[in-house]
Homo-oligomer: A and B are copies of this chain.
Amino acid sequence: MKFDYLIVGAGFSGCVMAERISSILGKRVLIVEQRNHIAGNAYDYFDENGVLVHKFGPHIFHTNSKKVWDYLSAYTEWIPYYHRVLGMLDGEMVPIPFNLNSLNILFPSTKAKAIENALLEQFKLGDKITILQLQNNKNKQLQNLADYIYEKVFHGYTVKQWGLRPEELDASVTGRVPILISRDNRYFQDKYQAMPKHGYTEMFRRMLKSPNIKLLLNTDYKEILADVQFNKLIFTGPIDMYFEYKFGQLPYRSLRFEFEFHNKEEFQEAGQINYPNEYEFTRITEFKKLTHQKNILGTTIAREYPEVYKKGINDPYYPVPKKEYREQYILYENEAQTIKDKVIFAGRLAEYKYYNMDQIVARALHLFEKEINTEKDNKE
């Protein structure tokens, strides 16, 4: 078969580029996807009870980029949704990220008031600060607050999430734990926050409508590489796999989801509840809270269990945030540079980096403009 572009992976990275290439350049694209569905890790589907669930963990769309918002809006309508996360701390459910409300729920009121005043003396209402800023603070009360949050919100969750003690991770991760100087209980503060009205998968389906886009499912790209002709490869799979692990396997953390249907109106108070300290799972998602599905009796939840990633057994989810692994990745990146006229590496697996969906869309649009739609540049 002959195509202008062969794209490996039908996630956001692959599908956005396929859409651009077919509709802006009118060129022919073959997308090869090893799974039996499109949408990558954003894949959602209706389970046997009619509840729209996210197969690979809860995906909440949020962005400050009007460009990304406008782009995706061509393929979906939206349902406004503000994500709220509660954390189970000392037997109380408190807003996460930790904010002034969390403070008031957890501490005796005089103490809470005093800390609140100390915070407001140094920071503006509405500021999003990091735990590092409190740890390094001269105010003893704020140092103590930092210790409390580190201990109760961060430490246990991190150990479960990564299977590592915080000290073993990059300092940047540890220092980045956010604290909100406000009573804003939303998990995100982005300008655009919403869920695609008919689900992510349907949004992808509409992106891929062009007759110039062919979609080969159930297929690892290596199985067909020798038999397809194309001018350029866009690779959104794992970069270490592309180079046959010549510099070793890049470490990932994996996840296991335990889905459960409950015959009741509501399972929990918020779309997501984190359990930093109890149980083996890190969080429970209740999908109806995210999607506002109104007409279903009963509700489906998922418990999320972090796991060691084992190639061929489970899926790679999160790159492990350690400097040495990033350095290992750089070896691959350098290798990729040597073939950049033939292969574009893009996406969370190809760049060994956690990206939010909006970032990955922005990146795909950017790559399209910079690396692919170059004739236009020449003309200008």
Contact = CB atoms under 8 A, between A and B. Distances in A.
Contacts of A223: 214
Contacts of A217: 214-217
Contact of A50 (B46, B208, B263): B46
A50 B50 contact: yes
Interface string A275-299: 0000000000000000001111110
A208 B36 contact: yes
Contacts of A197: 48
A296 B288 CA distance: 13
Interface in A39-53: 45-46, 48-52
Interface residues on A, range: 20 to 34
A103 interface: no
Contacts of A50: 46, 49-52, 293, 295-296
A213 interface: yes
Interface in A227-280: 227-229, 263
Contacts of A143: none
Contacts of A48: 197-198
A215 B36 contact: yes
B49 A227 contact: no
A205 interface: yes
Given A45-B46, A213-B218, A217-B217, 15 more contacts: A1-B227, A1-B228, A36-B205, A36-B215, A48-B198, A49-B50, A50-B52, A208-B218, A214-B219, A214-B224, A215-B218, A216-B216, A296-B296, A296-B297, A297-B297
Contacts of A229: 227
Contacts of A51: 50
A340 interface: no
23 contacts: A1-B224, A36-B205, A36-B215, A45-B46, A46-B46, A48-B198, A49-B295, A50-B50, A50-B51, A50-B293, A50-B296, A208-B218, A211-B218, A213-B218, A214-B217, A215-B216, A216-B216, A216-B217, A227-B229, A263-B295, A294-B297, A295-B297, A295-B298
